[in-house]
Structure 1
Amino acid sequence: MRLGIGIGVLALVSAGEIAIAQTDHSGHGDGMDHTMHGQTEAAGASVLLEPGQGAFAALSEVVRVLEADPNTDWGRVDLVGLRAHLVDMDRLISDAVVKETSLPNGISILASGDAETVATLRRMVPAHSAQLARDNRWTVAALETEDDVELRATSDNPAVIARIRGLGFFGLMASQDHHREHHLMMARGEDAHRH
């Protein structure tokens, strides 16, 4: 019995010491010295791939690509414009209020929100609608009104109609893998809508 109690006490003390060691941040002072991080990693140790918040991560990745390219024209680089676009992407996903209506051959979606969100929708939905319209399996159009933007996607193919409805507004806005190319073009100061 005493042996069991002794083992239990030892386990609790050990667990407490591990918890203290895991939460001890005494080495983290104000303005942590980020230059030390890489110097203390063991060879082959795991390295984080995500450098923080989504927009920051996207900008960080673009900067890395631009710096690695000896042909980067730094006089044309527009990271401010790319940041504005990333803010728009976040606002669209986080703040847009959508009302989806099924049509016999697809979907009609009214997207609205506050004044900034509507401005974002006006910048993003028509541009992405034109990109989506390149896919000949469906017909996609964007219509702007004073208070909202309508995205309409239709098809004659029942399987495509089901896909359109399944994707809905947010899925349609995230469809097609052109975003990274688009972002790099914007960062390089190129016309991102000509591709």
Structure 2
Amino acid sequence: MFRLAAATTLALAAPFATQAQHADHSAGMTHGAALATLTEPGQGAFAALSEVVQLLESDPHTDWSRVDLDGLRAHLVDMDLLATRAQVETDAIDGGLTARATGDARVLAALRRMVPAHAEQLAADPSWTVSAEARDDHVVLTVTGDDAATTARIRGLGFFGLMASQDHHRAHHLAIARGEMPH
């Protein structure tokens, strides 16, 4: 008798539990509602694209014939591949480091596009010397400095920190979206 009552209760409650789950999910799906606590609309690349679109749409001087959001998306994909799928071996050398980065064909292509271009940005910092070289199956980034503090900074940043440093990324992404920069 107890088993029959328990089975009946479960059978009757299941549809209501499903409705409750969907009702809770739907309640938070009021698109366009302003929520003061949110800073990004989801996944990072989507959030970056959303932010750029909002800025372009609010700028009356946007030249829509030059806008290249596909180019920005491709660059964001390259950034993701570099950050999440590149395999990097780093060696300490006098004054800094040498990093060899590789991965599958897509990752290697992203590394070839990004590392030499970013090395140019890094070279703008006069406290270090930077070189990048694309080889058949990997990309090499070498960064050195002249003093112990700079050497420690370079090694502390490592490959990924160096690739993320020199806070030019937001301006660079907006320039790509506006069709102003090829990288």
Q: Report the TM-score when normalising by structure 2.
A: 0.84
Match of 2:66 among 76, 93, 99: 76
1:140 corresponds to 2:137? no
By how many angstroms is 1:46 displaced?
Answer: 3.0
Matches within 5 A, 1:80-159: 80-159=70-149
Tell me: higher relative CO, structure 1 or 2? Use CA pairs within 8 A at least 6 residues apart. Answer: 2
Q: Share of identical aligned residues, percent? A: 59
Matches within 5 A, 1:22-61: 24-26=21-23, 28=25, 34-35=30-31, 38=33, 46-61=36-51
Q: Secondary structure at the match of 1:25?
A: helix
Q: Which residue of 2 aligns with 1:161?
A: 151
For residues 93 and 185 of structure 1, the distance between their equivalents in structure 2, rounded to whole angstroms, comes to 21
Q: Which residue of 1 aligns with 2:178?
A: 188
For residues 76 and 112 of structure 1, the distance between their equivalents in structure 2, rounded to whole angstroms, comes to 33
Moved over 3 A (4+): 32-35
For residues 33 and 155 of structure 1, the distance between their equivalents in structure 2, rounded to whole angstroms, comes to 51
- State the number of aligned residues: 164
Deviations 1:137-195 (A, max 9, x none): 000110111000000001111100000000000000000110000000000000256xx
RMSD: 2.0
Q: Report the TM-score when normalising by structure 1.
A: 0.79
